[in-house]
Amino acid sequence: MSISNTKKIQSLPEQRPFNRSAKATALLLERIVLGIYRSRQSNEVQQLQWSILRYLENAAQRQKTIGQIASYLGLTHAPVARAVNVLIERKLVAKVRNPNDGRSQIVSLTSEGLKILDTDPIHGIAAEITQLPVDVRHLLNDLLTDLIMKESSETEGDRETNSDS
């Protein structure tokens, strides 16, 4: 790589709508999230499968169809159906006929499914957050809520630039 090329690459961040510190913070958030689901072995419960198990733990009985799960998670039917099939193979959930609609089936947690929820990897970080002082916890809640809200309302055209790096 020539010196002139190196200079060109180093000058790029100045044009980006964030500073280095913000990028570092974002990367730390990414590291935390990736660290939660460390296991990549096929016999472990995967992220989407955890989301489904958590949903089934709390949803009303009538809302435990694959369609409702997909709608809740903001996904299409196919990936949710595939994930549910894997959970059925692992005996963590079971399908039963929907008493309110003969055409659909309800997905229910088995006793094994209930048991594995005790080992939900998100519990570790939830416990860490619980240990934070109350005011710091509230601040963290507010910051993450603001980030999600901003993300939801942001469009490509209205991103602000901040090039103080």
The nearest distance, CB 141 to another protein, in angstroms, is: 5
The nearest distance, CB 72 to another protein, in angstroms, is: 5
Measured from the CB atom, the residue of 91 and 123 that comes closer to another protein is 123
State how far the Cα of 80 lies from the Cα of 93, in Å rounded to an integer: 13
Q: Are 121 and 37 in contact (CB under 8 A)?
A: yes
Q: Binding to another protein by residue 139, rule CB under 8 A?
A: no
- Chain centroid offset of residue 42 CA: 19
Measured from the CB atom, the residue of 47 and 163 that comes closer to another protein is 47
Angle between helices 20-36 and 122-130 (to 10 degrees): 120
Q: Binding to another protein by residue 144, rule CB under 8 A?
A: yes
6, 25, 85, 100: which one binds another protein (CB under 8 A): 100
Q: Binding to another protein by residue 51, rule CB under 8 A?
A: yes
Measured from the CB atom, the residue of 118 and 151 that comes closer to another protein is 151
Site for another protein in 70-99 (CB under 8 A): 71-74
State how far the Cα of 68 lies from the Cα of 102, in Å rounded to an integer: 16
Cα–Cα nearest to 67, from 106, 93, 100: 106
Partner residues linked to 109 by β-bridges = 93
